[in-house]
A = this chain, B = another copy of it.
Amino acid sequence: MNECTTPLWPDPSALGPVTDLYQLTMMAGYAAEGIDGKPAVFELFVRRLNPNRSYLVFAGLEQALGDLTRLRFSPEQADWLRRQPAFRHIDRRWFDALPEFRFRGDVWAMPEGTICFPGETLLRVEAALAEAQWVETFLLASLAYPTMVASKAARVVEAARGRPLYDFGARRGHGPQAGLLCARAAYLAGFAGTSHVEAARRLGIPCVGTMAHAWVQSFDDEPAAFAAFARHFPDSTTLLVDTYDTLEGARAAARIEPPPRAVRLDSGDLGTLAGQVRAILDEAGRSAVQILASGDLDEWKIAELVESGAPIDAFGVGTELITVRDAPALAMVYKLVMLDGVGRVKNAPGKRTYPLAKQVWRRYDDAGRMIGDMVTAADEHADGEPLLHPQIVGGQWVQPPPPLDQVRDACRRQRAALPDSLRLLDGTGAYPIAYSARLEAEARRLGL
């Protein structure tokens, strides 16, 4: 007793109602109309890029589909729904069957880490209408955020020109779960590690840490704090030198035995301070001690520091990464494109959707650079490599999802295949996306 009665970490085996009410009213309505079992195709795509972006990195698939295959309602949840006034006219057998309801459809998707673009189908659900409708909110909430973080992280990786990057975002996420999602997406896109312990443990990501100001404040003076830390963590000491005065802190750090692996700057003019701290360390014969910088860093600040030649060896990125601060929402949608074998469209202003189940084909030049994508109907063929692959068939994984390091390698290779103009931070690069003649004709036929 005397407890919080409403923890917000739901039982992962009962995420069925982690969705919008209208998905469930529509499911019940489809059943009442006898059309809940009609074969439907929904597609997930992004309508437009956020400012300065030229591409997206698709991420979050393993967890999204993992949850999808387990998605269900508990009997308590089903009973609660039955008692909602909105459902008063729905046959109670629908609620009785709800705890047995599962996603038993198919999912095609681009592999995680794939470089992708607006207007391309990233994921396609082929399932009974009610099942495909059910999973909309959950899929969007599970895929958009990791894709945003991975896409942002890829920009930061470009900016850092090979210097290692660490995710320090955990405390700034939109709830504790975001820290886990962010750590994974950032690593997938090329970050070198995370400070998030549980993310590192669950996902096999290198775990990194330094010290907080509280450590320094907990000792009589800074040299005592540094010496104590070096005593207990001699192999991995990173000393935070800005608690009182950064240059004094650097001088204290330079005298520590054994020498620390790195010092960390977390405030002030990082470029200038890095130069001064480097000089202090070098003069003390501590040339091997690295400098790690953190503190509201984003791709622009990192690019500027790198281009200015600031002697910074690695960067910690927190707030800007985990909140995707410059563009914290993504126009990812999930739309009905085919029902009972017939193409469907939507025509709301600015929200058009091409009909039919689709495939995306990518072409490369002889040097292995991406030169253009073609979107076709799923049963068409085009030049190049098809990007959508079956992931879930009949509600079951086709094969185990690839290890995270494999996804990370694939992502790195794909970034290397991007046209140079798309790798710039200013978002001026455009990539050719075309739709097949058949898709265009079908869209016209349906009045789009």
Contacts and interface: CB of A to CB of B under 8 A. Distances in A.
Given A10-B180, A18-B179, A171-B141, A336 B214 contact: yes
A208 B235 CA distance: 55
Nearest to A80: B201
Nearest to A204: B6
Contact of A172 (B6, B7, B140): B140
Contact of A145 (B15, B25, B174, B244): B174
Contact of A136 (B9, B12, B136, B212): B212
A176 B138 contact: yes
A8 interface: yes
Interface stretch (A114-122, A341-349, A436-444): A341-349
A206 to B, nearest CB: 10
A232 interface: yes
A211 B4 contact: no
A414 interface: no
A101 interface: no
A268 B173 contact: no
B210 A22 contact: yes
A7 B198 CA distance: 12
A46 interface: no
* Interface band, chain A: 35 or more
A197 B26 CA distance: 13
Nearest to A216: B346
Interface in A281-330: 319, 322-325, 328-329
A417 to B, nearest CB: 27
A77 interface: yes
Interface of A: 1-10, 12, 15, 17-26, 28-30, 32-33, 35, 38, 40, 42, 62-63, 65-67, 69-70, 77, 80-81, 84-90, 129, 133, 136-138, 140-142, 144-145, 168, 170-181, 184, 195-198, 200-203, 207-215, 217-218, 228-229, 231-236, 242-246, 266-268, 319, 322-325, 328-329, 335-336, 339, 344-351, 396-401
11 contacts: A6-B63, A8-B184, A9-B12, A15-B176, A20-B171, A26-B214, A28-B232, A32-B228, A136-B212, A214-B335, A319-B329
Closest 5 interchain pairs by CB?
Answer: A4-B66, A21-B209, A177-B177, A174-B174, A22-B209
